[in-house]
């Protein structure tokens, strides 16, 4: 079935958000199709994380619409919004594990909140930890984990309650190349095995190409371009090329750069 | 002149923002208290942290306050041969004023700071956002248990502090200053009314609520990284302590005025 015949799982229309005078999102339009893995790429500070936080209700946008399965989440009250979160999984950039809880309670947190008994929740946590390649760490505290382990525990927590939609905020940032590859492969496997809808944000181009079906470039507060991930190396859009090739020169203006910085780069 | 007005305006604006934040946190917490889920495990954990773990510092403060008070009162009363009033002054001072205020200041330093630091760290490391995405209301899970725990534990700590403070005064008067123990106890109990005791407990509960609101609000609304957590923690302690001293005057005026 082609994408044009499907109803988007998430449809974002005219989403705007500013902090004081600074405009972060300026009318973002984006459709996330069901069962697809979409990645939003862009420079640091372009509002990728703000976009996800607006969808999840962590931040309140100034204008726009966020339709999830046809329901406008911006019109939901806090109670209803929280109820919808049971269908959502979110991996945070720094994993955001709860310091005071052991690994297994972190992973099965959503299940325990749903009233599932401890033994069942722990069993499920151990299963999911094994799925991300972690064994016999369920009783450790988050402070005892390495960065890569914490990220995998975060991924385990994201999927433990079997969500319909998963959000991934910079899944490979801060990890070494080998651990980044491990995380990317886990995400690909998750997508293949469960067919869930994934929205990721990253500025790691290798990760974006590997884990996505669709890629959207966020620039100057708007979605500038949307392509299939296999077109990432071939698309000739100047902004996309600058980001993919990691060049300082190009149409994307790095905010805060003065003339001196420009000259220094050209020297 | 314009600079002075601008500076004053900024201070007033900052004060209004903080008061608004405290009222907002309190309103959000109270509006959720009547319905489930109640997170009783968190409440018990917090009660243990606030109550049991504060005991050593509270006991030490109360004991030495009672001892110093007895010593000072005796010296002054000795000048006009009214040493027998020492017990009354110690017990009345501890029960009505010093117990709730000093315990409040100690708990503000220990518990208010820990609330702000814990919640502030959770905020800057996105743990509070993570709670939301795991279908858990952060106000119910983090703020309400802390608020209830500190409001309930403060009067209990003050009861212990009252007894220990009075005992401190008794020990000094009887064992060091050679006062008659029977006279000391009689003078202590004869003029004291139950309302003196209750008024201290009402104050303690109110101070606990202030500590909880200020500590939780500062942590919950913390911005920035480690520096932000530091600012939130300092602010929580300073504002809690100031609020306790200011509220103490108005509560005393209201209850005994």
3-state SS of chain A? Answer: CCHHHCCCCEEEEEEEEEECCEEEEEEEEEEECCCCEEEEECCCCCCHHHHHHHHHCCCCCCEEEEEECCEEHHHCCHHHHHHHHHHEEEECCCCCCCCCCCHHHHHCHHHHHCCCCHHHHHHHHHHHHHHCCCCCCCCCCHHHCCHHHHHHHHHHHHHCCCCCEEEEECCCCCCCHHHHHHHHHHHHHHHHHHCCEEEEEECCHHHHHHHCCEEEEEECCEEEEEEEHHHCCCCCCHHHHHHHHCCCCCCCCCCCCCHHHHHHHHC
- Chain A residues within an 8 Å CB radius of B125: 94, 96
pLDDT in tens, A115-127: 899 999 999 999 9
Token duo for residue A81: 């919004």
Cβ–Cβ below 8 Å for A96 and B126: yes
pLDDT in tens, B48-77: 999 999 999 999 999 999 999 999 999 999
Query: Looking at residue A260, what is its pLDDT?
Result: 53
Share of chain B above pLDDT 70, in %: 100
pLDDT in tens, A239-251: 889 888 888 877 8
- Is residue A173 situated within a structural domain? yes
- Please determine, for residue B104, whether its predicted confidence score (pLDDT) is greater than 80: yes
pLDDT bucket at A4, cuts 50 / 70 / 90: low
pLDDT bucket at B114, cuts 50 / 70 / 90: very high
- Are β-strands A37-41 and A197-202 bridged in parallel, bridged antiparallel, or unpaired? parallel
Mean pLDDT along residues A144-158: 93
Domain with A24, as residue range(s), is: 3-235
Distance of CA A113 to the CA centre of its chain: 23
Token duo for residue A43: 């420079």
- Is residue A92 situated within a structural domain? yes
- Please determine, for residue A253, whether its predicted confidence score (pLDDT) is greater than 80: no
Residue in B with minimal Cα distance to A58:
B129
Mean pLDDT along residues B198-204: 94
Cβ–Cβ below 8 Å for A92 and B135: no
For A82, the closest of B121, B126, B135 (CB atoms) is B135
Q: Is the Cβ of A82 closer than 8 Å to some Cβ of chain B?
A: yes
For chain B, give the number of residues.
257
pLDDT bucket at A263, cuts 50 / 70 / 90: low
- Is residue A248 situated within a structural domain? no
Query: Looking at residue A257, what is its pLDDT?
Result: 47
Query: Looking at residue B20, what is its pLDDT?
Result: 95
For B127, the closest of A98, A110, A114 (CB atoms) is A98
Query: Looking at residue A57, what is its pLDDT?
Result: 92
Is the Cβ–Cβ distance between A89 and A166 less than 8 Å? Answer: yes
Q: Is the Cβ of A20 closer than 8 Å to some Cβ of chain B?
A: no
The Cα A74–Cα A15 span in angstroms is 11
- Chain A residues within an 8 Å CB radius of B29: none
Q: Is the Cβ of A229 closer than 8 Å to some Cβ of chain B?
A: no
Cβ–Cβ below 8 Å for B126 and A92: yes
Q: Which range among A88-102, A249-263, B200-214 shows the weakest confidence by mean pLDDT?
A: A249-263
- Is residue A247 situated within a structural domain? no
Query: Looking at residue A249, what is its pLDDT?
Result: 78
- Is residue A118 situated within a structural domain? yes
**Closest Cα of chain B to A78: distance in Å?**
9
- Chain B residues within an 8 Å CB radius of A114: 135
Cβ–Cβ below 8 Å for A109 and B136: yes
Query: Looking at residue B158, what is its pLDDT?
Result: 97
Q: Which range among A156-165, A237-246, B212-221 shows the weakest confidence by mean pLDDT?
A: A237-246
Q: Which range among A56-70, A242-256, B172-186 shows the weakest confidence by mean pLDDT?
A: A242-256
- Is residue A83 situated within a structural domain? yes
pLDDT in tens, A12-36: 999 999 998 899 999 999 999 999 9
Mean pLDDT along residues B194-218: 95
pLDDT bucket at B39, cuts 50 / 70 / 90: confident
pLDDT bucket at A265, cuts 50 / 70 / 90: very low
Residue A113 belongs to a domain with what CATH number?
A: 3.40.50.300
**Closest Cα of chain A to B121: distance in Å?**
10
Share of chain A above pLDDT 90, in %: 64
* ipTM rounded to 2 decimals: 0.88
Residue in A with minimal Cα distance to B137:
A82
**Closest Cα of chain A to B143: distance in Å?**
16
Cβ–Cβ below 8 Å for A78 and B133: no
pLDDT in tens, B118-166: 999 999 999 999 999 999 999 999 999 999 999 999 999 999 999 999 9
- Is residue A152 situated within a structural domain? yes
For residue B39, what is the DSSP state?
-
pLDDT in tens, A167-207: 999 999 888 888 889 889 999 999 998 889 999 999 888 89
Domains held by chain A: number: 1
Which of A81, A82, A101, A153 should one mutate to test binding to chain B, selecting the residue with the greatest count of B CBs within 10 A?
Answer: A82
Cβ–Cβ below 8 Å for B127 and A99: yes
Cβ neighbour number for residue B89 with a 10 Å cutoff: 20
Query: Looking at residue A262, what is its pLDDT?
Result: 52
Helix ranges, chain B (H): 2-33, 40-50, 55-78, 86-93, 99-107, 113-124, 127-133, 138, 144-171, 181-190, 194-220, 226-256
Query: Looking at residue A92, what is its pLDDT?
Result: 94
Q: Is the Cβ of A80 closer than 8 Å to some Cβ of chain B?
A: no
End-to-end CA distance of chain B: 40
**B37: cis peptide before it, omega within 30°?**
yes
- Is residue A149 situated within a structural domain? yes
Mean pLDDT along residues A105-131: 94
Q: Which range among A112-116, A252-256, B200-204 shows the weakest confidence by mean pLDDT?
A: A252-256
For A96, the closest of B37, B125, B135 (CB atoms) is B125
Cβ–Cβ below 8 Å for A85 and B125: no
Q: Between residues 167 and 196 of chain A, which touch chain B (CB distance below 8 Å)?
A: 167
Q: Is the Cβ of A157 closer than 8 Å to some Cβ of chain B?
A: yes
Q: Is the Cβ of A83 closer than 8 Å to some Cβ of chain B?
A: yes
Annotate B5-32 with b (16+ C-beta within 10 A) or e (fewer): eeeeeeeeeeeeebeebbeebbebbeeb
- Chain B residues within an 8 Å CB radius of A85: 132-135
Is the Cβ–Cβ distance between A24 and A17 less than 8 Å? Answer: yes
Query: Looking at residue A5, what is its pLDDT?
Result: 63
Is the Cβ–Cβ distance between A27 and A222 less than 8 Å? Answer: yes
- Please determine, for residue A157, whether its predicted confidence score (pLDDT) is greater than 60: yes
- What count of CB pairs under 8 Å joins A to B? 53
Q: Is the Cβ of A58 closer than 8 Å to some Cβ of chain B?
A: yes
The Cα B148–Cα B153 span in angstroms is 8
Residue in B with minimal Cα distance to A86:
B135
Query: Looking at residue A1, what is its pLDDT?
Result: 44
């Amino acid at each position: 079935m082609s994408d044009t015949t499907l109803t988007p799982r998430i449809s974002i229309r005219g989403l705007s958000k500013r902090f004081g005078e600074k405009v972060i999102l300026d009318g973002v339009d984006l459709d996330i199709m069901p069962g697809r893995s979409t990645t939003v790429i862009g420079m640091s500070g372009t509002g990728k994380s703000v976009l996800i936080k607006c969808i999840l209700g962590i931040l309140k946008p100034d204008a726009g619409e966020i339709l999830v399965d046809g329901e406008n989440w911006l019109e939901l009250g806090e109670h209803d919004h929280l109820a919808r979160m049971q269908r959502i999984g979110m991996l945070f950039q720094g994993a955001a594990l709860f310091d005071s809880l052991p690994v297994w309670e972190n992973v099965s947190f959503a299940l325990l909140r749903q009233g599932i008994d401890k033994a069942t929740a722990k069993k499920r946590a151990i299963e999911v930890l094994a799925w991300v390649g972690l064994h016999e760490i369920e009783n450790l505290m988050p402070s005892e984990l390495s960065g890569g382990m914490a990220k995998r525990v975060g991924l385990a927590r994201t999927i433990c309650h079997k969500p319909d939609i998963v959000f991934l905020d910079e899944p490979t940032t801060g990890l070494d190349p080998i651990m980044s590859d491990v995380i990317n492969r886990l995400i690909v496997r998750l997508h293949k095995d469960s067919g869930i809808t994934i929205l990721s944000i990253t500025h790691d181009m290798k990760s974006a190409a590997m884990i996505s079906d669709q890629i959207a470039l966020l620039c100057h507060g708007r979605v500038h371009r949307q392509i299939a991930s296999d077109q990432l190396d071939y698309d000739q859009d100047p902004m996309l090329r600058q980001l993919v090739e990691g060049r300082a020169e190009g149409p994307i203006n790095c905010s805060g750069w003065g003339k001196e910085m420009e000259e220094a780069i050209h020297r | 002149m314009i600079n002075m007005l601008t500076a004053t305006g900024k201070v007033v604006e900052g004060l209004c923002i903080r008061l608004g934040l405290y009222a907002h946190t309190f309103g959000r917490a109270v509006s959720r208290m009547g319905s489930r889920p109640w997170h009783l495990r968190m409440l018990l954990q917090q009660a243990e942290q606030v109550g049991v773990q504060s005991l050593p510092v509270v006991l030490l403060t109360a004991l030495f306050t009672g001892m110093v008070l007895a010593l000072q009162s005796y010296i002054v009363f000795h000048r006009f041969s009214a040493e027998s009033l020492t017990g009354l002054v110690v017990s009345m001072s501890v029960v009505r004023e010093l117990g709730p205020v000093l315990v409040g200041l100690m708990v503000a330093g220990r518990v208010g700071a820990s609330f702000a630091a814990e919640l502030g760290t959770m905020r800057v490391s996105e743990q509070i956002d993570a709670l939301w995405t795991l279908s858990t209301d952060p106000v119910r899970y983090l703020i309400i248990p802390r608020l209830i725990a500190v409001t309930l534990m403060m009067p209990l700590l003050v009861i212990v502090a009252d007894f220990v403070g009075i005992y401190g005064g008794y020990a000094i008067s009887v064992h060091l200053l050679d006062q008659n123990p029977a006279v000391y106890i009689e003078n202590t109990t004869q003029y004291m009314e139950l309302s003196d005791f209750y008024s201290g407990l009402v104050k303690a509960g109110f101070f606990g609520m202030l500590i909880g609101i200020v500590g939780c609000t500062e942590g919950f609304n913390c911005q920035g990284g480690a520096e932000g957590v530091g600012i939130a923690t300092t602010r929580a302690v300073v504002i809690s302590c100031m609020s306790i001293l200011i509220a103490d005057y108005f509560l005393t005026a209201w209850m005994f005025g």
